[in-house]
């Protein structure tokens, strides 16, 4: 988007296309990040209800130990189930936090493009030196 020379009111098709694609891709990334946060939160809640047992070099985790048809998860090549669950209890909130930060970045990108297009939001800052007289400054 920065490679396209700027013209006011989007008078070039290339500039409009670049801004539109930037907005659409930012919106899709925002949706993906929110879904990733929800997915990690769902698994974190599920992990808190797991009951894990070490069986031969693997860890068998079940949601409900009394139900023979309950869903079970097998983690292979794990010596200790406690270290696995504590590691997952650390990684899942970290993943939620990072995806939330990414979602906020995508939301701010969508906000800037939307405001710049429809509500005259200027991203750049104009600088007038303090030594210039008022007659030399341009009226905006």
Q: Average pLDDT in the 54-69 region?
A: 83
Residue 6 DSSP code? P
Note the pLDDT of residue 6.
55
| Percent of the chain topping pLDDT 90 | 27
Whether 46 has a pLDDT exceeding 80, the answer reads yes
Whether 67 has a pLDDT exceeding 80, the answer reads no
CA 43 to chain centre: 17
Residue 42: pLDDT band with limits 50, 70, 90: very high
Whether 90 has a pLDDT exceeding 70, the answer reads yes
Note the pLDDT of residue 85.
85
Note the pLDDT of residue 140.
47
Residue 41: pLDDT band with limits 50, 70, 90: very high
Q: Comparing 96 with 83, which gets the higher pLDDT?
A: 96
Q: Average pLDDT in the 116-124 region?
A: 55
Region of 80 please: left (phi>0), alpha (psi -120 to 50) or beta. Answer: beta
CA 25 – CA 31 distance, rounded (Å): 10
Residue 122: pLDDT band with limits 50, 70, 90: low
Output the pTM of the full model.
0.67
Closest CA to 111 of 23, 19, 4: 23
């Amino acid at each position: 988007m920065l490679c396209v020379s700027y013209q006011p009111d989007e008078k070039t098709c290339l500039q409009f296309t670049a801004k539109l694609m930037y907005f659409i891709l930012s919106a899709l990334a925002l949706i993906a990040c929110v879904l990733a946060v929800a997915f990690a939160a769902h698994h974190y809640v599920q992990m808190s209800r797991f009951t894990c047992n070490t069986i031969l070099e693997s860890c068998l985790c079940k949601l409900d130990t009394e139900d023979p048809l309950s869903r079970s998860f097998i983690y292979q090549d794990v010596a200790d189930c406690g270290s696995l669950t504590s590691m997952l209890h650390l990684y899942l909130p970290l993943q939620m936090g990072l995806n939330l930060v990414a979602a906020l970045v995508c939301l701010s990108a969508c906000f800037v493009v939307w405001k710049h297009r429809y509500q005259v939001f200027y991203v750049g800052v104009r600088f007038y030196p303090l030594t210039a007289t008022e007659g030399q400054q341009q009226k905006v």
